[in-house]
Amino acid sequence: MPRLISARSVLGVQDLDVSTSFFHEKLGFEICATYDGWCFLSRGGFTVMLGHCPDEVPASKIGDHSYFAYVVVDSVDSLCHEFRSRAVQPMSEPESKPWGMREFLVTTPDGHRIMFGQDIDPPEKAEG
């Protein structure tokens, strides 16, 4: 069976400069490449490909469908603290969940939601 090598998230954004600045300056991503209407950024193993789509419905208008990534990190509390030091206000505080993850949520300027989580315990088994 062919193996999956990596994953990249592709996001349509209303203002490419604003979104690029958010990922670079606020979330600490490195700019890898820019093309006409595109910016590719990465931090560790997480790559985001931003495409300028000014006439599309922004993610903030699609509710729960605006979730696009769940990123596993090694220290969720430290990452949340880092983001706050860069003036990012998470949508949720780091919280331990019954599925064995400690996680918090960040929203981009367009309303895309990114959940950051850390493995903390074996997940509790759901009843039923």
- Secondary structure element (H or E) that encloses residue 19, with its range: helix 16-21
Residue 105 in any domain: the answer is yes
* pTM higher than 0.85: yes
pLDDT at 112: 94
For residue 2, tell me if it sits in a domain: no
Weakest-pLDDT range from 38-42, 100-104, 122-126:
122-126
Q: What are phi and psi of 78, to 5 degrees?
A: -65, -40
Instruction: Phi first, then psi: give them for residue 45, nearest 5 degrees.
Output: -90, 10
Answer whether residue 86 is part of any domain.
yes
The verdict on residue 108 lying in a domain is yes
How many structural domains are present in the chain?
1
Give residue-wise pLDDT tens across range 59-107.
889 888 888 899 999 999 999 999 999 999 999 999 999 999 999 999 9
Whether 127 is in a domain gets the answer: no
- CATH code at 101? 3.10.180.10
Domain span at 69:
8-55+65-119
Our CA angle for 41, 24, 108, nearest 5°, is 90
